[in-house]
A and B are shown apart, each in its own frame.
Chain A
Amino acid sequence: MTDKNFQAHEIRDKIKIDYKYTYGSQSKFFIDLMSDKKLQGTKCKKCGKVWMPPRVGCSDCFEDTEWVELPHSGQIMVSTIVWYTTSDFIQKIPYGIAFIKLDNADTALLQGVFSENLVPSKIKKGQRVKAVFKTAADREGKMTDFFFVPEDEYEAWINQEQYEGGK
């Protein structure tokens, strides 16, 4: 390769890969989200701590947990507005993301927060938010099946054709 006249010959080609993966023991969260718009957390059988996102085992005392359905409302613990992101989400900037503690949960979920008036003060700590879901036809059993909006904007969001409220 030390030859000065060396020239690499390049061929442009494509690789197509179909693959699937599972959410393992957390599958129930995604199945119930997709089918019933339920937000399922887990509760430690020993210490009673409620985990959202759900944990199969309690990270505090290492005991088993059991599924527990949580309300669709909660409050923002901390947030930011994203202006630069990966290719999957770049079309949607700017959007809010926040760690949200659902009522009855002890830990906070990371999820998108949308607002008609997206300014930092609108999604600051303590802001009450409520979950809005894609319609059944659009839900795929992924985190992007739902997002949160400030409580006072909830009705306006679920009245849009492509979204709906929970039960």
Chain B
Amino acid sequence: MMAASSYVSMVNAHYDEFGNPTEEQMALVSIKNHGNAMNNPKAQSPMEITVQDVLNSRIICYPFKMLDCCLYSEASAALILASEEKVKELGVDNPIWITGVGAANTDCFIGNRESMGRLYSNINAAKVAYKMAGLDYDNIKNQIDLAELHDAFSGQEVISYEELGFVPFGEGGPWIENTYEKPGMGPWIDGELPCCPSGGLIGCGHAVGATGIMSTGEAALQLRGDAGKHQVEINHGRAISHSIGGPGAAYAAVIVMENEEGLSKK
């Protein structure tokens, strides 16, 4: 079973339960992330595309088309981690603090899951990370400035909106559709909660194993104001990164990061 057919099983099960994400809603994720990558010089797949371009691209496994899928890539990413004491000793300017970490597993085999349309590992990892950072799962959308998600496939990003607490279950597809071309709303780069402003895995390429580090590094750049042309507005001083791995996408990790301003606001 390929990664695409593994993820598509979850997306199709979600569709059976909630009637979304539709092919058009998934195409909007593709437009957003390929589009965001236009402003990221390190991205592999910057593209200005339309819904029709996505729908017309080669089918991979129903209903995923080629432009719904990230590209498998070869790349590296790195973070420099240090203890609070070391940061102070070295006098690091503008450090980004990791204030919440959550990791969780679910059944590796999708056939064992009672509810195939959602990843409980995402939900549990998010809840643990938010709690550690003193944040509220039910109000997280209003407490962070951006999220770098694991958008290996467009439909998976839509489901992640729900699992990570941005919108209630079943409302992920409508969230991106109803906010398209409405500044200040939705997961768009100028939206209420920009998701994958870097372009994510769809826009940047998926260097398996390095992407979680990439997403976390991207969120740190944003909080520092160093994201260049894809910089989003930082008001809370807080961001999350999210990564999935393992057979059946069973393993999930969520990291909450804050800059000095974010810490001082709590």
Within 8 Å by CB of B9, from A53, A78, A86, A120, lies A78
A77 touches B62 (CB 8 A): no
| Contact (Cβ within 8 A) B111 A110 | yes
8 Å CB interface, B29-61 against A: 58-61
Does A56 touch B at the CB level, under 8 Å? no
Contact across chains for B61 and A80 when beta carbons are under 8 A apart: yes
Tally A residues with Cβ within 8 Å of B.
22
- Minimal beta-carbon separation of A32 from chain B (angstroms): 20
Using Cβ atoms and an 8 Å threshold, which residues of chain A touch B62? 80-81, 83, 120
Q: Which of B4, B9, B16, B107 contacts A84 (CB 8 A)?
A: B4
Chain B residue with Cβ nearest A51: B112
Q: How far is the CA of A79 from the CA of B5 in the complex (A)?
A: 9
- Cα–Cα, bound, A156→B58 (Å): 32
A85 at the B interface (CB under 8 A) = yes
Assess whether B2 is interfacial by the CB under 8 Å rule. yes
- Inside 8 A of B1's CB, which chain A residues have their CB? 97, 110
**A53 to B12, Cβ gap below 8 A?**
no
The smallest beta-carbon distance between B231 and chain A, in angstroms, is: 36
B5–A80 CB distance below 8 A: yes
Bitwise interface map of A from 107 to 119 toward B, beta carbon under 8 Å scored 1, else 0: 1111000000000
Asked if A78 and B61 sit within 8 Å, CB to CB, the answer is: no
Closest-by-CB residue of B relative to A100 is: B111
Contact between chains at A81 and B107 (CB < 8 Å): no
Task: Give CA–CA (A6, B177) in the complex, Å.
Answer: 57
Interface status of B227 (Cβ within 8 A of chain A): no
Q: Mark B57-82, 1 if CB is under 8 A from A, else 0.
A: 01111110000000000000000000
Q: Which of B12, B109, B112 meets A78, CB within 8 Å?
A: B12
| Contact of B116 with A by CB under 8 A | yes
B177 to chain A, nearest CB (A): 21
Q: Is A147 an interface residue (CB 8 A)?
A: no
Chain B residues near A82 (CB, 8 Å)? 2, 5, 61
B59 / chain A contacts, CB cutoff of 8 Å: 83-84
B183 to chain A, nearest CB (A): 36
Q: Quick check: B61 and A83 within 8 Å, CB to CB?
A: yes
Alpha-carbon distance A79/B59, docked complex (angstroms):
15
Contact of B116 among A84, A99, A109, A124 (CB under 8 A): A99
B110 engages A110 (CB within 8 Å): yes
- B8 at the A interface (CB under 8 A): yes
B7: nearest residue on chain A (CB-CB)? A80
Out of B2, B5, B13, which one reaches A77, CB within 8 Å? Answer: B13
CA distance A53 to B108 in the complex (A): 13
B12 touches A109 (CB 8 A): no
Partner of A80, one of B8, B58, B109, B117: B8
- Set B2, B8, B12, B117: member contacting A86, Cβ < 8 A: B2
Can you give 10 A-B contacts (C-beta < 8 A)?
Answer: A78-B12, A79-B12, A80-B9, A80-B12, A82-B5, A97-B5, A107-B111, A110-B1, A110-B110, A120-B62
- Which residues on B are within 8 Å of A, measured CB to CB? 1-2, 4-5, 8-9, 12-13, 16, 58-63, 107, 109-112, 116-117
Given contacts A81-B62, A82-B2, A110-B111, 16 further A-B pairs with CB under 8 A are A77-B13, A77-B111, A77-B116, A79-B9, A80-B8, A80-B62, A84-B58, A84-B59, A84-B60, A99-B111, A107-B109, A108-B110, A108-B112, A110-B1, A120-B63, A124-B16
Q: Which residues of A contact B (CB under 8 A)?
A: 53, 59, 77-86, 97, 99, 101, 107-110, 120, 124-125
